Homo-oligomer: A and B are copies of this chain.
Amino acid sequence: MEILDLVRLNLLSPMVLAFVLGVVATLVRSDLKFPDEIYTALSIYLLLAIGLKGGAELSETALADFWAPALMTLLLGVSIPIVAYVILRRLGRLEVADAAALAAHYGSVSAVTFAAVQTFLIALDIPFEGFMPTLVAILEIPAIIIALVIARVALGQGGNWGEVLRELLAGKSILLLLGGMVIGFLSGRAGLAQVAPVFVDPFKGILTLFLLEMGMVAARRFRDLRRVGFFLIAFGILMPIVNGTFGIWLGSLAGLSQGGAVILGTLAASASYIAAPAAVRIALPQANPSYYLTASLAITFPFNLAIGIPLYYGLAGFFY
């Protein structure tokens, strides 16, 4: 009941509504198009802004508070892809490559979902730890590596590991997140204040614009929904709920505040759509992109945005 209220509140936020507008635009075949360059610019902005704020906060945090959550996050990044892979192979009967590809996506993380849950909590005035962006960075990569290792072992392939690793670590999302964090950390709150009219105040508005575009992107994948089948649709909804609950629980064990645990849960529940697809396409080309892109973008992302976030907030009540 309280969760339903939160869902309603969340659904009526400009961000979620903008996502819906994007979906509608695609469904009515509007000529509205978001230039790719603007999409790229907005995502650079979001990642850098998340990093900057996180870094500035981190510079005021006792690092002793930080190791437990960091470790738990790493644990999430290692365990989720393994669990997901097993489920996909056993229950879903997917090919090795496809199962590993999906495992990489669900173990990794979506920065926009992070931005959305952060905005949700701020709107409700619920406090959370300032170092959360660090956890986004920690969670992004391990799952991808583990899933790729699983695939290579199962398929008996070798391959250019060094190159894949470099590409992952130098990938733009990690670079901007970590880079932004370092900038924020070194220049501190005073530095952040100087650029706040760009990187702080307009954050929600820019996120709204970005979600308009995400709605169009997700909706273009809708026609693949039939192709991916019922199992993947169910997976794209249930796996996040499982991962989200797991993340909240680990967050509570790690001593995070309730808000922090909701964020960690949402991170666990979210599926990557930047770093993972790029790495998987290169390292596991035989996996069918329709599966992982559709599940991540057309099922899990909208689910988390609209229902998952308030749901995880509600679920956190059981742990606090």
Chain A interface (Cβ within 8 Å of chain B)? 12-14, 17-18, 21, 24-25, 28-38, 40-41, 44-45, 48, 52, 123, 166-167, 169-172, 175-176, 179-180, 182-184, 186-188, 191-192, 194-199, 201-202, 204-206, 208-209, 212, 278
Contacts and interface: CB of A to CB of B under 8 A. Distances in A.
Nearest to A197: B201
Contact of A187 (B14, B28, B167, B188): B14
Nearest to A198: B205
Contact of A30 (B14, B175, B187, B191): B175
Contacts of A167: 31
12 contacts: A12-B191, A13-B187, A14-B191, A25-B170, A29-B170, A31-B171, A35-B37, A37-B38, A38-B41, A197-B197, A197-B204, A198-B202
Majority secondary structure, A binding face: helix
Given A24-B179, A183-B21, A187-B12, A194 B204 contact: yes
B31 A35 contact: no
A61 B202 CA distance: 27
Contact of A191 (B13, B44, B183): B13
Contacts of A44: 32, 34, 209
A195 B186 contact: no
A166 B41 contact: no
Contacts of A31: 167, 170-172, 278
A205 B52 CA distance: 11
A172 B25 CA distance: 8
A40 B29 contact: no
A167 B198 CA distance: 34
Nearest to A184: B14
Nearest to A201: B197
Given A41-B38, A183-B17, A28 B166 contact: yes
A48 B18 CA distance: 10
Contacts of A36: 35, 37
Most chain B beta carbons < 10 A, residue from A17, A52, A202: A17
A123 B28 CA distance: 38
B166 A14 contact: no
Given A21-B180, A24-B179, A38-B41, 20 more contacts: A12-B187, A12-B191, A14-B192, A17-B183, A21-B182, A25-B172, A28-B166, A29-B166, A30-B170, A30-B175, A33-B40, A33-B172, A34-B40, A37-B37, A37-B38, A45-B209, A48-B209, A48-B212, A197-B202, A198-B204
Nearest to A178: B21
Contact of A17 (B12, B24, B182): B182
A205 B196 contact: yes
Nearest to A169: B28
A52 B201 contact: no
